[in-house]
Amino acid sequence: MDVAQLFSTRARAGVDPELAIILAGPPPGTLGMTGGFPNPATFPSEELAEIAARLVQDEPGLALQYGPSAGLPSFREYLVERVTHLEGREPALDELMVTSGGMECLDLLCRSLLDAGDDVAVEGPTYLGAIMGFRDYGARLTGVPMDADGLEVAWLRERLESGYRPKFLYTIPEFQNPSGRTLTLERRRALVELCREYGVLIVEDVAYKELSFDGSQLPSLWALAPDVVVQAGTFSKVFCPGTRLGWAVGPAALIAQLSSAKGGTDQCAGALSQRLVEEYGRAGHFGRRLPHARALYESHWVALSAALARHMPEGVEWSEPTGGMFTWLRMPEGLDARELRPAATEAGVAYVPGSPFYVDGGGANEMRLSYSSLDEAQLGIAAERLAGVIQSVPSAARR
Amino acid sequence: MDVAQLFSTRARAGVDPELAIILAGPPPGTLGMTGGFPNPATFPSEELAEIAARLVQDEPGLALQYGPSAGLPSFREYLVERVTHLEGREPALDELMVTSGGMECLDLLCRSLLDAGDDVAVEGPTYLGAIMGFRDYGARLTGVPMDADGLEVAWLRERLESGYRPKFLYTIPEFQNPSGRTLTLERRRALVELCREYGVLIVEDVAYKELSFDGSQLPSLWALAPDVVVQAGTFSKVFCPGTRLGWAVGPAALIAQLSSAKGGTDQCAGALSQRLVEEYGRAGHFGRRLPHARALYESHWVALSAALARHMPEGVEWSEPTGGMFTWLRMPEGLDARELRPAATEAGVAYVPGSPFYVDGGGANEMRLSYSSLDEAQLGIAAERLAGVIQSVPSAARR
């Protein structure tokens, strides 16, 4: 039997090979600025050891059993409190559910909203996993251009005025993956008004929101307009990815549908993970731990930023993140980040080329640099190596 | 914004309301023989407490981080050993992957194999979650009749000879959910030969396989014919559901596709859960724990079986499981398990009506009884109450 002959249309379409390259990790011997993995130094292992042992021993009937698809009641109640604290707006219990991480939330949204051929608007560039996920459901993707202030709302308005009607707009307002940019407050207000006017649902991914270097934060899109926004959150960056947990907050009818869809995937998020995060959070550990994570990423960025400024040749630009773990680097026109990759590997540095992050072309001369995993000294060396690779291209090759 | 207006075709189709009734749990004040939850007394809380604390403390960079979509390498290696031990056949490493439970494996299979309108064969009756999952992808479902020896292979042969070509056949060979029946060895051999002959992939769900009362087991379909079978396993029944873990074993090309599809759902199973099960298993706890679980379910079944024999009126029949947690009860023709439900609730007993488990009608006079959660004394009372409800129907109502 040739099982590949049985594959569905979507399976035959395959996946972007860039994702496999990212997941395989940086080539041996290179300093990797590739992945978006959080730094393990931010993981709360001491606090968790005690909590995990206690939960498994004291409440196996809850923490080790199946749970409701929407999440354990006590954890949902905790999440309501947490979201209220973070957002300054209290969701109703039926406006919130537990997910098995941020990507799973996007998948539940696709199941619940997308038929093949539906339009979806994303940022250009945007998260590679989201592009793949949306394409998997046959969505037609349109990239909304970005500048230093985030996605260009005026551009989207023009398109909507011309009759464009996406099922939803997917955006990462803070320290965006991959660009590191943050949507300004003015644009946030304009965006939710625009989407309300045209009946476009906003899917707001707040994966990095709590990782601002200075601890400050702008109001989320959901807080500004809970009627037209569903927020996808994850504990992967502020707690750890190993427990596969996130949340969705949005209109009750949509949350009910997402919960129902979850019954057909993993049925429920792990109860042990849910109780771990709940106990961790109720003990106040987020408030104690997060400042350390913010300081770590800031210190990494300061190091990378200084090294880029010192080593990069003229004509190379990069974004100035105020949180999160990414910067977006643009080389002079004519250079191609994919073509430079062998030379970069040779020089001992790794990055992710920019073009896969765009749904409609472009980005050949751009790249994503992650500063989450390497330490300050390594980031300095990595930047110097990368600068050397870029400088090694004969100027004749540049347009 | 009316978000329901944005719902996809599959979301609008909705789900079987019976599932919501099951998930809501038995009505207050009733003895519930409804759910398929494992008994928490079988959960390994003592062993796990030590392991969980150690993993979180000693290896946060592994147990709390993201992992590969196919599973952590060390856990996959352990699973290869475990499957080899259980099946007497060793899968190659690329023939095995980690899933977030059995249902998620079915979802990955649907993503990878099904286009709308594809044919899928299931047992009649079969697992409600599978029916819903397959329908969600637009599959056309056909029920293969069962008798006491499991699915009727001769019936399937006739259909295949007439040109019927399902993408796959879904079967639960041991202590089937919901019927409690086990596919005989003779039929297993006939089934894999038939499916090999006609190029039909077999999806074998071994959720209950290790829960035989006497510890014995028949060769799995995968062990008999690894070229035409993909096996979906879960740790929910032999360990606990709260860690959301399972495995898939099958042809390497299919496993690669399932792993790729998993990148678009939850990206990877929880690393902490994977390391928990690995450490638990390597310490030999499965071998020590499983006999207790088998003895518990057997003792529950012995109690229920005796009570059914004592109290049920003539004309009522039930299956004789040799493992697992379900028996399938058939009332005389003309009785309707859904119609009897209010009287059963009134009498203080709850079951799941049979018809939702069939994809093409029938089963109105049948029901699933689970003996996993109630204790022996409760099961005796539940059977007596149920018998009273059935007897209360005037014989005129029976055909």
pTM, entire model: 0.95
Please report, for chain B, the start and end positions of each structural domain, with discontinuous segments joined by +.
3-43+287-397, 45-286
In this structure, what are the phi and psi dihedrals at residue A121, rounded to the nearest 5 degrees? -100, 135
Q: State yes or no: pLDDT of B7 exceeds 70.
A: yes
CB contact under 8 A, A56 and B65: no
Q: Using one digit for the tens of pLDDT, what is the confidence trace for B329-364?
A: 999 999 999 999 999 999 999 999 999 999 998 999
A211 touches chain B (CB under 8 A): no
CATH class of A45-286: alpha beta
Q: Using one digit for the tens of pLDDT, what is the confidence trace for B192-206?
A: 999 999 999 999 999
The overall average pLDDT reported for chain A is 95
- CATH code of B3-43+287-397, in short, is 3.90.1150.10
DSSP A212: B
Least confident of A34-48, A170-184, A240-254, B246-260: A34-48
> In 3D, which of A86, A121, A44 has the Cα closest to residue A279?
A44
Kindly state the helix (H) or strand (E) to which residue B269 belongs, with its residue range. none
CB contact under 8 A, A113 and B8: yes
Nearest to B251 among A3, A68, A266 (CB): A3
CB contact under 8 A, B263 and A113: no
CB B85 within 8 A of CB B217: no
Bin A175: left if φ > 0, else alpha if -120 < ψ < 50, else beta.
left
A15 touches chain B (CB under 8 A): yes
Nearest to B253 among A4, A46, A168 (CB): A4
Which amino acid would we find at residue A230?
Answer: V
What is the distance between the alpha carbons of residues A203 and B365, in angstroms, rounded to a whole number? Answer: 46
Measured CA to CA in angstroms, residue A253 lies from A197, B2, B193, B272 at distances of: 20, 9, 48, 33
The distance of A177 to chain B (nearest Cα, Å) reads 17
List the 215-234 stretch of B: residues with Cβ below 8 A of A. Answer: 227-228
Bin A168: left if φ > 0, else alpha if -120 < ψ < 50, else beta.
beta
B334 touches chain A (CB under 8 A): no
CB contact under 8 A, A57 and B49: yes
pLDDT band at residue A220 under the 50/70/90 scheme: very high
> In 3D, which of B76, B47, B49 has the Cα closest to residue B271?
B76
* Separation of CA A326 from chain center: 10
CATH class of A3-43+289-397: alpha beta
Q: State yes or no: pLDDT of B399 exceeds 60.
A: no
DSSP B323: B
What is the distance between the alpha carbons of residues A76 and A268, in angstroms, rounded to a whole number? Answer: 13
pLDDT band at residue A399 under the 50/70/90 scheme: low
The distance of B273 to chain A (nearest Cα, Å) reads 8
Token readout for B203 is: 């999806």
- β-strand pairing of B140-147 with B119-124: parallel
Which amino acid would we find at residue A109?
Answer: L
Q: State yes or no: pLDDT of B24 exceeds 80.
A: no
State the pLDDT at residue B46.
86
State the pLDDT at residue A398.
63
CA triple A26-A30-A31, angle to 5 deg? 90
Token readout for B48 is: 């796990």
Token readout for A287 is: 């408030």
Which amino acid would we find at residue A283?
Answer: A
Residue B158's Cβ-count burial label (10 Å; 0-12, 13-18, 19+) is: exposed
Task: Please compute the mean of the pLDDT values over residues B254-278 and round it to a whole number.
Answer: 94
CB contact under 8 A, B236 and A66: yes
pLDDT band at residue A14 under the 50/70/90 scheme: confident
List the 155-194 stretch of B: residues with Cβ below 8 A of A. Answer: 167-168
Length of chain B measured in residues: 399
**Cβ-proximal residues to B315 (8 Å cutoff; 6+ apart), any chain:** B331, B332, B398
In this structure, what are the phi and psi dihedrals at residue A59, rounded to the nearest 5 degrees? -140, 55
CB B174 within 8 A of CB B217: yes
Nearest CA in chain B to A50: B53
Partners of residue B32 on adjacent β-strands: B350
Partners of residue A326 on adjacent β-strands: A370
Q: Using one digit for the tens of pLDDT, what is the confidence trace for B48-81?
A: 999 999 999 999 999 999 999 999 999 999 999 9
Q: What is the ipTM score, two decimals? A: 0.94
